[in-house]
Structures are given as C-alpha cells and as structure tokens.
Homo-oligomer: A and B are copies of this chain.
Amino acid sequence: MKCEIIAVGSELLTPWRQDTNSLYLTERLNQIGVRISFKTIVGDRQHDLVSTIATGLRRSDILILMGGLGPTEDDLSREALAEALGVSLRRDGGLVAALSMRFAAMRRPMTDNNLKQCDVLPGSIVLANANGTAPGQWIDTGFEGHRKIILMLPGPPKELKPLFDSDCMPRLRGILPVRNIATRTLKATGIGESAADALLAPIYVTFTDVETTILAGHCEIQLQLTCAKRSMEAAQRRVNELASRLEEALDQYVFSSDGDSLEQIVVYYLELKQETLAVAESCTGGLLAQRITSISGSSRSFLGGAIVYSNDLKTAFTGVPPSLIQTHGAVSAQVAESMARGIRENTGATLGVAITGIAGPLGGTDEKPVGLVYVALSDAKRTFSEECHFRGDRENIRLWASQKALDLVRRRLM
C-alpha cells in the first residue's frame, strides 16, 4: 500500500516557504499503519500538476493532494486531477447554494470566481470545510485497473488538519486492514546519539516486533518506539516493556517517557514538589526564563528573575560583590554561584539557578574561550556550579546553556 503526498503551491518552491502539513499527515497516517513513499511539491501550473498527479496515480495507491482549492486562477488542483483521471468536473448545485449563503451571512458579494470551488469530480464525496470556503473531496476510483484513493484537501493548516482528522481518518480506517499501532517517545539529555545507541542497541534489537528510531536534535535525543499488532493492548504492552528497559538503561539521562519537553517536566515537578524557582541569566539573556514561561501555568512556581548582562546589574540584582567579579571574572564558577544564591535570596524562591558564559562569536580568550559556560544551582542547603564547554554558534551555545540549567533543576527535583 503506497501513499504519496503532493503539496501544491508555487510559494512552496521559493526559498521562503516550506510544506509542513505533510509532517502532520505523516504522523496521523503512521498511526493507522500507512507509511509515506513519496512527497512531491509542485507549483500552480496546470501542466506540471497534471503530470505530477499522473505519476502519483501510477505509483501510489493513496494520493493526498494539498492546496490549490481556492477561488483564484492559480488554484488548479481540481482541474488538474480531472485531466489526469480523464474525467470532467461537475458543478454541484448544493455547494453553490451553501457558498452563496455563506457570503450572504458575511454580507459580502460573491464574485463569480468563487463558483469554481463548487466543482466536484464524478463520484466524489464532498468533505465540508468548517474553517474555509473550499471543501475537500474524497475520491475512491479506478486508474489503469487499480483502485486509487484520492484526497483533495485545502492547503491552510487550520483548514486541513481538522478536516483530515474528522473526515479522512475514519474513512481510511474503514478501508485499511485493521492494525493497531502503539507508540511511545522517550527523551533524554546529557548523552549523545552514538553513546545512547551503543548503550541501547543490545536491548532494542531483541524487540524485533518494536521499531526503534533514535533522533538527535535541539540538545536532546528522542527515542521513537512503534509497534503494530492485531490488538492495541498487545501493541501497547510491547512498547511499554521496551520503554521500561530503555529507561532503566538510560537512568538519569531520561527526562520524559511520554514526549513532554524538558521545560514541561521542570514546571510539573516544581509544582509537585512545592518549590519555587528564580533565574539569573547573563549569556543566555532571558532564554532560560522564556523557555520556562512558555509553559502555561508556570506562574504558579516560577517567580521571575534577572537578566544581568552588565556587571553592574550582576551586583544590583543578584548581589554579586564587585570584588568577586574583579578577582575571578564575570565568567567564573564563583560568580555563577553568587548569582544563583543572590537571585534566590532576593526573590524568596526556594531554588535559584544562574548562567554566565561566553556565547560568542566575539569575547573569547585563550583562557576563557567561546562556549565556556558556568551553570549554578542554589537551594537553602547548598550552592554548586558546573563548568561546561559547548560547541557551535551563538544560538547553539545559548540553547545548550539553558538546557543544562533546566536539567540541573530537573535532577535536583527528582
């Protein structure tokens, strides 16, 4: 069963825009056992579209067309699909009436070009679009002696996603063999991809019925576990068995066994353990606080903090003695610890965390190179710091520094 996704739109062939709908569709389709064999991106040109669709019909069983359903001259998906199938479009009276009412309700005149949105393929099922004017279409037809399922979906993500979930997933389930697919996502930080694979491969290779994928990126590794069985219970059981074994092996490196982000985990445990947190950031300049406050509800445990880019502010907001900065430098374990202690005391939080370092690309020296970062944690009992050496560009170093700080907090809480 081959499935192909075709994204339609000349803007998707520029340097500035990219198809992202297909990632969503792929995730949903994988859940019902459908893998993607091809993705094609094609512009708003009739000839190119027809040839792309014809190629898709020859090599795939399920064809998903996204975009090109609007009212403008550039919207050619309906016409191109009809030409590729060798059939004629039919204007649907019911759709015309509904569209006219929609415009009347908005008190806007309906120009004639809108009518093409009411053209349907023979035998198609119209999929009502609750979030836009152009309906989708489901076509179950034959092509050169083979059964083909063709979906035409609107391009805007806010229209496509709900339409696919409500109208396409149940229909696809209905025609596909019953497969129940259980998935689990483990996340770990502080360990590299190859070290993790060396540690985990001896375990996951023995689970021949569970597919394990290791992905690295954004300062963490993800383990994607997938298992397909006749019964969902059996699939879930195998995924959970493997997940437990991998978690045990990864030990403290694992921070999430169900896909949560590190900031979600930190916010969750802060509240659970009834702790409060404040931060003092130098080189990350607000990135750590921004990540924490991106989580709704973080205000219950996160008090705030200070961005102490200048040395004066390190003293004013976190009480670092100017002499400490003079003696050890602003990027030092001593200053990081003083910042963590100071921000905790000045805010009344139970935990203080601080970051000071050199994010680059300028400002490094032989003694204190770009990428040198001190991360400190302070609670009522003790204050300590870790010296880190991060690689990459400014963005990467800042991201790793914030990750390390979040992970220090997580380990303290768990």
Q: A14-B26, A15-B26, A347-B316 are in contact. Are A48 and B38 (CB under 8 A)?
A: yes
A350 within 8 A of B: no
Instruction: Check: A346 CB closer than 8 A to any chain B CB.
Output: yes
- CB <8 Å contact, B303 and A306: no
The smallest beta-carbon distance between A296 and chain B, in angstroms, is 6
| Chain B residues in 8 Å Cβ range of A23 | 15-16, 18
The docked-state distance in angstroms from the alpha carbon of A139 to that of B283 is 47
Dominant SS among interface residues on chain A: mixed
For chain A, the bracket of interface size reads 35 or more
Can you name the residue of chain B whose Cβ is closest to the Cβ of A278? Answer: B313
A59 interface residue, CB < 8 Å from B? Answer: yes
For residues 263 through 305 of chain A, which have their beta carbon under 8 Å from a beta carbon of chain B?
A: 278-279, 281, 283-290, 292-294, 296-299, 302-305
Q: How far is the CB of A24 from chain B (nearest CB, A)?
A: 8
- Pull 20 A–B residue pairs with CB atoms less than 8 Å apart, ordered by A: A12-B39, A16-B23, A16-B213, A16-B222, A16-B224, A39-B41, A48-B59, A279-B307, A284-B290, A285-B289, A285-B292, A286-B287, A286-B305, A287-B290, A293-B309, A296-B360, A303-B309, A304-B317, A305-B306, A310-B347
Which 9 A-B residue pairings sit nearest by Cβ, starting from the closest? A285-B293, A286-B289, A286-B286, A15-B27, A286-B290, A304-B309, A39-B41, A304-B307, A304-B313
Chain A positions within 8 Å of B, measured between CB atoms, are 11-18, 20, 23-24, 26-27, 30, 35-43, 45, 48, 51-52, 55, 59, 213, 215, 222, 224, 278-279, 281, 283-290, 292-294, 296-299, 302-310, 312-313, 316-317, 346-348, 359-362, 394-395, 398
